[in-house]
Structure 1
Amino acid sequence: MILNDNNPSDKRIYPSRWERKKGKYLFVSIDNRSEEGKEELLTVSHITGITPRKMKNVSMFKAESLVGYKICDINDIAANTMWMWQGAIGVSKYRGVISPSYNVYRQRNNDFVPEYLDLLLREPTLVDVYHSLSTGIRPSRLRLYPEQLFSIDFPVPPKDEQQKIVNYLEWKISKINALINNQKKQVQVINEEKQAELCSTFTSGIEGRHNTFITCADAVIGSIPDDWQVMRLKYVCKMYNGDSISDSEKDDYTTVTEIPYIATKDVDLQSATANYENGLYVPENSTFKIAPKNSTLLCIEGGSAGRKRAYITRDVAFVNKLCAFVATDIDSKFLFYYLSSDIFGLQFKKEMTGLIGGVSISAIKRLFVPVPKKEEQKEIVQYLDKKCKALDKKILLIQKKISVLLELRQSIISDVVTGKIDVRNIQIPQYKYVTEIDSEYGEYEDEEDNPSGEEG
């Protein structure tokens, strides 16, 4: 059964035995507002659905008061109007509030098991329908309003089949999560090995080279070879923030130039590289601040503060949540490796302040860095290049396995939720549910770099 025949973008197919109903007969828009602003603030993500904000690595702007925010009750549907075309919608397991610019819906007649509906609403072929019905003069301004959602035909399987789908998927997802967790633990072990190598090198030098050491005033660094110095970062590099492009302006920066624009989401946490092919560029004669080739970009605000970094291999413009470290009296790659170490990370964390978490550039300038002679800096870079390249190669292979498992998990969810796999007569054995573990290099919900964009 193909739904919504009048919409050529609608490629959905469901079993003919399933009933279908228009959204207007299934859902009603709710607009209850918080009077005191004491409710839990919820996030709406295309990745994880609806989650309390405090549980996520979110770095978007948060209003000082939640008075007037929309109340979302348990089993209500919350939808991010601006990102519905990506699937930012879900059924809430929590009572809380969301941004006033979002939408809250409620089932009219309880046609759906909430857990099934949550899976259905983010199913990729249905998300494609949201995209096709979203309106806006530019891609970055696409919006899906209640009237469009209410015009969509939704499948309504029998509730006993919905529950069987939920039970079956919990079993299958649990098995895949266990495999993913095993791979993530392997990555964690390798990253710990990598950090041990970095920390050892920045306090002792290359193994076997030094025999005498001195104690540093900074306890995080501890001791260093007696011919090294400990200096504040402000004496060895320049540091400055970039410039933000608001979401509404991004379509003005798509003309290709020699200077790509890097947002926080374009920095890969694990590989410490930047994506230069994100489609955003700045004019070569613009006033945007530039991070030159061979500098380091470090996120200094939000959920990824002190964690996301990249060694830049070409001149780039960059968002204001990133800070450029431009070497002046230190080897640039040596500085990058140091900024990647837990020695720097621990100093950074001690300085974090603010509601969303961050460190000011003035505070970063006061942090310490161990500084060998220039010749030894280059030797250390060569040594770490070789060591880290081998470890990163192992991690890359494991990440590919994780990606395959994630794709398999989504494929199974889609096939079962849409009825391509009939689970009515499948016996589910006893099992213990396994949740996918969070990891240092997991998904982050700080993708928005617009400082005026309100998080909800």
Structure 2
Amino acid sequence: MLVDGWRECRLGELFDSRKERGRAGLPTLSVTMREGLVDRDDLDRKQDTALSPAEHLLVKPGDIAYNTMRMWQGAFGLSDREGMVSPAYVVLKPRANVDPAFLAQLLRTPRMLHLLWAYSYGLTDDRLRLYFDDFAAIPVSIPGLEAQQRMASGMALWDKAAKVLEKLAANARAEKRALLHRLLPTPTHHASSGKQSRDWQLVRLGDVVDLNPRRPEMPEDGRVTFLPMEAVSEQGRIDTSRVRQYLDACAGHPGFKDGDLLVAKITPCFENGKGALLADLTNGVGFGSTEFHVLRPKGVIEPRLIAQVLQSREFRNRGAAEMEGSAGQKRISADFLRSFRFLCPLDKSQQREICNLLDAADRVAHMFDLAKGAVLREKQALVQRVAGQHAPGEVI
């Protein structure tokens, strides 16, 4: 039973489909999963189009544009300006007594994402499409306009807090990169500074690690960690929750153990910094994506220091320049890894001091990441709690 001025309706009672044509001079906008609706020119990966402005769809402030193929994953954005989008999108024009900012928050709740998936059509998830007529049929409960605006304003404060924490994390990582450059200068920068020292040496990566070593032996109970690409972050952290049997995981996958290092070999994962120093694997053993190189330190250099080198801009930029293969399938080779050289102090205690400073910088950025995640979870729980109390009782 609905209370507090909430009412049941269909999304088609809240939105019309805007089908006005774009026009010259307007920015072309694209939907992204993380940022919503953004200027296409701001995307790292440029998306050229042969369509004329009139072949695009017009978007106005307050409209919501969504990707028909990925709406069920949350691929939509609330527009804050006039622009135009691909005709493959659907543009939602809010009706009277609808606050689009509130609806944008509501559409991201788990229940609504489930309904967006349920009303999409296709043989498999990667072929699902949600057109406006099906979107319009989805049941929803909403309060009156004033309550919508009040809730949207509150949710905006949570989002603002998350944005601030995200910026702080980005600043912390920028400071860490500068610190890394000072503590472990590139050979060229070190030579040009004139500060030559016998305490430092130019190290060839292939001399201090075994590349793609033999897989570890099967543990007694046969349980091992499995790491697909998505289980390894761009900040060097891993999700060890996936556990498989050794004989199932080892077929066609590289093996590794605690203390090994992973480096993503394929674009754009390599350039984005996917890789990690491994720890806390199930029984100390794991297998993972075939798109990882495995590096096993020989004990000559502190493993944490090697991990920091593999995260450095110098390593990523040089690797990106030497990738082999066709567009979209480029990879770094084992030869590049073996031949990569970096400067390193000879003294192990000095290596550990450098690692301690860099690890501390990493922890600061991670602290902001955790705080941002907590804010977003609290906000989502609040939205879900409010929406869940007033969800339509109808079963699909």
1:129 matched to which residue of 2? Answer: 115
Whether the aligned pair in 2 keeps the contact of 1:224 and 1:370 (CA below 8 Å) is no
Counterpart amino acid of residue 192 in structure 1:
E
CA pair 329-54 structure 1, distance change in 2 beyond 3 A? farther
How much has 1:261 moved relative to structure 2? 4.2
How much has 1:339 moved relative to structure 2? 1.7
Whether the aligned pair in 2 keeps the contact of 1:40 and 1:97 (CA below 8 Å) is yes
Counterpart amino acid of residue 10 in structure 2:
K
Return 5+ residue gaps in structure 2 as ranges: 213-221, 280-284, 391-396
Counterpart amino acid of residue 97 in structure 1:
V
Counterpart amino acid of residue 85 in structure 2:
V
Counterpart amino acid of residue 312 in structure 1:
L
* 1:79 matches 2:66: yes
1:229 matched to which residue of 2? Answer: 201
Whether the aligned pair in 1 keeps the contact of 2:31 and 2:65 (CA below 8 Å) is no
2:342 matched to which residue of 1? Answer: 369
Counterpart amino acid of residue 318 in structure 1:
S
1:337 matched to which residue of 2? Answer: 308
* 1:218 matches 2:191: no
2:35 matched to which residue of 1? Answer: 48
CA distance in 1, matches of 2:243, 2:135: 30
1:292 matched to which residue of 2? Answer: 256
How much has 1:104 moved relative to structure 2? 0.3
- TM-superposition CA deviations, 1:8-38 (whole Å, max 9, x none): xxxxxxx4524443234444556789999x9
User: Could you say what secondary structure the match of 2:106 adopts?
Assistant: helix
Task: Give 2:101's match in structure 1, choosing from 94, 112, 115.
Answer: 115
Task: Give 1:202's match in structure 2, choosing from 162, 184, 191.
Answer: 184
- Equivalence map 1:349-364=2 (5 Å): 361=333
CA distance in 1, matches of 2:175, 2:288: 32
Task: Give 1:277's match in structure 2, choosing from 241, 245, 251.
Answer: 241
How much has 1:370 moved relative to structure 2? 1.8
Whether the aligned pair in 1 keeps the contact of 2:223 and 2:243 (CA below 8 Å) is no
CA distance in 2, matches of 1:192, 1:343: 16
- Equivalence map 1:155-194=2 (5 Å): 155=141, 157-170=143-156, 172-173=157-158, 176=161, 181=164, 185=168, 188-189=171-172, 192=175
CA pair 96-368 structure 1, distance change in 2 beyond 3 A? farther
1:90 matched to which residue of 2? Answer: 77
1:406 matched to which residue of 2? Answer: 376
User: Could you say what secondary structure the match of 2:237 adopts?
Assistant: coil
- The percent identity for this pair of structures is 19
How much has 1:42 moved relative to structure 2? 0.4
- TM-superposition CA deviations, 1:122-155 (whole Å, max 9, x none): 2343223324445666666665454442221234
CA distance in 1, matches of 2:167, 2:369: 8
- In the superposition, the TM-score normalised over structure 1's length comes to 0.58
CA pair 145-327 structure 1, distance change in 2 beyond 3 A? farther
How much has 1:372 moved relative to structure 2? 5.4
* 1:106 matches 2:92: yes
Counterpart amino acid of residue 185 in structure 1:
L
CA pair 64-39 structure 1, distance change in 2 beyond 3 A? same
How much has 1:40 moved relative to structure 2? 2.3
CA distance in 2, matches of 1:319, 1:21: 48
- TM-superposition CA deviations, 1:189-243 (whole Å, max 9, x none): 58736863x445535xxxxxxxxxxxx8612675553254325656766879xxx
User: Could you say what secondary structure the match of 1:112 adopts?
Assistant: coil
2:393 matched to which residue of 1? Answer: none
RMSD: 5.1
CA pair 187-302 structure 1, distance change in 2 beyond 3 A? closer
Counterpart amino acid of residue 271 in structure 2:
A
CA pair 192-20 structure 1, distance change in 2 beyond 3 A? same
Whether the aligned pair in 1 keeps the contact of 2:176 and 2:358 (CA below 8 Å) is no
Provide the aligned length of Structure 1 versus Structure 2. 363
Counterpart amino acid of residue 11 in structure 2:
G
CA distance in 2, matches of 1:92, 1:54: 16
CA distance in 2, matches of 1:112, 1:148: 20
CA pair 383-346 structure 1, distance change in 2 beyond 3 A? same
Task: Give 1:301's match in structure 2, choosing from 267, 278, 284.
Answer: 267
Counterpart amino acid of residue 308 in structure 2:
Y
1:426 matched to which residue of 2? Answer: none
